[in-house]
Structure 1
Amino acid sequence: MAGATEYLNLFVAETSWYNEIVLGNIVPGEAWRRLPHFFQSWLRNYIGGLLVYFISGFLWCLVIYYWKRNVYVPKDAIPTKNAMYLQIMVAMKAMPWYSVLPSISEYMVESGWTQCFSTISEVGVPMYFVYLAVYLAFVEFGIYWMHRELHDIKSLYKWLHATHHIYNKQNTLSPFAGLAFHPLDGILQAVPHVIALFIIPCHFTTHVALLFCEAVWTANIHDCIHGKVWPVMGAGYHTIHHTTYRHNYGHYTVWMDWMFGTLRDPEEDENPKKA
């Protein structure tokens, strides 16, 4: 028992270190130290989420809409400042709730309920990558079906997912639309990351990093720029999703849509085959 407790304390020490880095350098005063550990982690995730959202969003908008204006997207496809402002407002209302999920996942890891391991050396580098590949495949599968059901189940679409789908064409989509969801919708689509922890051994630090990568990735796939890197589910695919509502439900790759018959290739849309 003592050994198990000592091992779990490694996770607590790691999250405490994250809290110190973020809260100790950003939050004025020392009052945050008196908060229970869970709420410290929530506050850190909230502040970290805001930083990732605004830094990635503003930098990407600066590059594609101003510095490289008319290079990556045509002028009539650039969203208005008002559209981006409204997307930011939706995301800001949801952000406190989004931050609950990683805080809960950290609590479950710290409590020993998951298959997480603390250091890569415990499993070795080869098995680390094997577990990571299985974890990512599970997450891809889970997000695909969660996203698809948010469309197929009419009540879920009406009350949750429709909030995101008011942005349905190029001149309304922007990197800031990436987190503009109903809070429960955004959480549901991230839940596969947490479910995987109970089934697949996962490096804890990698899990934390991947959750924050979600925010960067969702900004990227809403910028309407098709990177054309197979099998990546880039913005070209996701723009089609926003215009047809019935294709390209995948997250990082096209594989799930290919397997389940919902893939629509943007290059085929641009260059239809002649009869």
Structure 2
Amino acid sequence: MAVHGGDYLRRFVAETEWYNEVVLNAVSPGDWWRGLPHPVQSWMRNCVGGYLLYFISGFLWCFVIYYWKRHAYIPKDAIPTNEAMKKQIAVASKAMPFYCALPTLSEYMIESGWTRCYFNISEMGFSAYLCYMAMYLIFVEFGIYWMHRELHDIKPLYKHLHATHHIYNKENTLSPFAGLAFHPLDGILQAIPHVLALFLLPTHFRTHIALVFLEGVWTTNIHDCIHGKVWPVMGAGYHTIHHTTYRHNYGHYTVWMDWMFGTLREPDDILKKA
């Protein structure tokens, strides 16, 4: 049921129309796309944004850690081969149009008034904005933890979906490009908490859009095998353990859920046993 009236909802539509205008005008030689339905335009814009984010963050980070600062962050035998990275790029590139269907759907639901999204922070006040955003992030952290864990625990889901990502199970097969190398449905399932939160919590529209695309940058970060050691951040040191043991460190941005539910393994624990 719509929460806001038509005039209010038009602000969301106008915002996404502007996004479409900026992005599609920049990449299209003509204006042929203007005759397409608005959701199709939004999906195309999300695809362009998704590919740009993936390739810019991936290539930039690979340049820094594998060439410019070669051996400064990770040992030589932990550097993945170009062939491994090409395979990861191929998997992620094929899945990207499917990934982008989820933010397109969330935008459509927001524009239709089905969610609790609001347009301006001033409508809630900055203190309430921070409070609700903290609740949003906690909900997303909880949801992604359990979705990820069940993708391991439910054997058919692991076999047919999540195993595609866990081909990369050693330091010398993990790279920033592995971050989005999922079966398309796997990637969508792990991002669904971002959408479910919109129905439960008042959420600032632009912040939601930014956080959804931040996922692409974050997954690049946690697959680069560089352990930042910034507690309680779920850095690559923790996530590399997940790729080697399969039973630990299911969390997303932080280690809190793993700590709460008994699946946390510290990188230092591995070093002590080595």
TM-score calculated relative to the size of structure 1: 0.97
Residue 118 (structure 1) aligns with: 119
Q: CA deviation at 1:27?
A: 1.5
Cα deviations across residues 105-152 of structure 1 (Å, max 9, x unaligned)? Answer: 000000000000000000000000000000000000000000000000
> What is the root-mean-square deviation of aligned Cα atoms in Å?
1.1
Residue 71 (structure 2) aligns with: 70
Residue 157 (structure 1) aligns with: 158
When structure 1 is superposed on structure 2, of 110-119 and 27-36 the one drifting more is 27-36
Cα deviations across residues 219-269 of structure 1 (Å, max 9, x unaligned)? Answer: 100000000000000000000000000000000000000000000000222
Cα deviations across residues 128-178 of structure 1 (Å, max 9, x unaligned)? Answer: 000000000000000000000000000000000000000000000000000
Residue 258 (structure 1) aligns with: 259
Structure 2: unaligned runs, 5 residues or longer: none
Residue 87 (structure 1) aligns with: 88
Q: Give distance in 2, aligned partners of 1:22 and 1:267.
A: 44
Q: Give distance in 2, aligned partners of 1:209 and 1:260.
A: 29
Residue 203 (structure 1) aligns with: 204
The SS at the match of 1:264 is coil
Which amino acid is the alignment partner of residue 110 of structure 1?
Answer: E
The count of residues paired between Structure 1 and Structure 2 equals 272
Q: Give distance in 1, aligned partners of 2:219 and 2:148.
A: 13
Residue 101 (structure 1) aligns with: 102
Q: Give distance in 1, aligned partners of 2:27 and 2:97.
A: 17
Residue 174 (structure 2) aligns with: 173
Which amino acid is the alignment partner of residue 186 of structure 2?
Answer: D
Q: Give distance in 1, aligned partners of 2:65 and 2:268.
A: 21
Query: What is the identity percentage for the equivalent residue pairs of Structure 1 and Structure 2?
Result: 73
Q: Give distance in 2, aligned partners of 1:118 and 1:263.
A: 38
Cα deviations across residues 186-223 of structure 1 (Å, max 9, x unaligned)? Answer: 00000000000000000000000001000000010000
Residue 192 (structure 1) aligns with: 193
Cα deviations across residues 70-106 of structure 1 (Å, max 9, x unaligned)? Answer: 0101011000000000000000110010010000000
Structure 1: unaligned runs, 5 residues or longer: none
Residue 47 (structure 1) aligns with: 48
Q: Give distance in 1, aligned partners of 2:220 and 2:231.
A: 19
Q: Give distance in 2, aligned partners of 1:106 and 1:267.
A: 42
Which amino acid is the alignment partner of residue 79 of structure 1?
Answer: P
Cα deviations across residues 11-39 of structure 1 (Å, max 9, x unaligned)? Answer: 00111111111111112200011111000
When structure 1 is superposed on structure 2, of 167-176 and 18-27 the one drifting more is 18-27
Q: Give distance in 1, aligned partners of 2:199 and 2:207.
A: 15
Are 2:34 and 1:33 aligned? Answer: yes
Q: CA deviation at 1:271?
A: 3.1
The SS at the match of 1:171 is helix
